[in-house]
Amino acid sequence: MIKKLLVLLFFLASFLVHSQNLVWKTNMNDAIKMSDEQRKPLLIFFTANGISKSIQSEVFETSDFLDWSGKNVVLLRLDLSDSSISDEEKEQNIRLKEALGIEELPQVCLAAAFIRKNRPRIDKLGLLSYKVGGVKQWISDAKIILLGE
């Protein structure tokens, strides 16, 4: 019984450690700069209060996503209902949402981001919604977009 309890505690502890290591940028300019420096595309997660948390719990809070995202993308979370950001930043996020063709929330956009002549640029690669199938299917769909297939 004690052995089973220890195994369970180890599993839960490792899950919590993985989920806590996920770092989302919340400022678009910081994320573009990091994307340009690391030569990684952006994974932009558009969300708001009251939106389904399925994609977060079934995809973003998994160790598979943590491992994959750390190697492949810069994470940017834009909460369009965030009252703690400035009106200018909120307007910038809404303009980005519209420019990328985001119609429903939550929505993920994969995009190439870079800075040329001191001007940020974002090129949409594709959109990903939450679908039943779990993190492995979601990552597979993301890889297809990133490879341009």
Summarize pLDDT for 104-119 with one digit per residue, the tens. Answer: 999 999 999 988 888 8
The CATH number given to whatever domain includes residue 34 is 3.40.30.10
What percent of the chain lies above the pLDDT cut of 70? 86
Structure tokens at 128: 């990903």
> Per-residue pLDDT averaged across 124-133, rounded?
88
- Per the domain annotation, does 11 fall within a domain? no
- Per the domain annotation, does 133 fall within a domain? yes
Closest by CA to 57, choosing from 136, 135, 142, 139, is 135
- Per the domain annotation, does 16 fall within a domain? no
- Per the domain annotation, does 115 fall within a domain? yes
- Band of the pLDDT at 148, cuts 50, 70, 90? confident
pLDDT in tens, 26-83: 999 999 999 999 999 999 999 999 888 888 889 999 999 999 999 999 999 999 999 9
Domain interval for residue 126: 23-147
The Cα 80–Cα 134 span in angstroms is 25
More confident residue, 10 or 46: 46
Is residue 1 pLDDT above 80, yes or no? no
The Cα 100–Cα 145 span in angstroms is 15
- Per the domain annotation, does 12 fall within a domain? no
- Per the domain annotation, does 7 fall within a domain? no
Domain count, the chain: 1
What percent of the chain lies above the pLDDT cut of 90? 64
- Band of the pLDDT at 8, cuts 50, 70, 90? very low
- Band of the pLDDT at 4, cuts 50, 70, 90? low
- Per the domain annotation, does 5 fall within a domain? no
- Per the domain annotation, does 4 fall within a domain? no
pLDDT of residue 133: 81
Helix, strand, coil share of the chain (percent; to 5):
50, 20, 30
- Band of the pLDDT at 17, cuts 50, 70, 90? very low
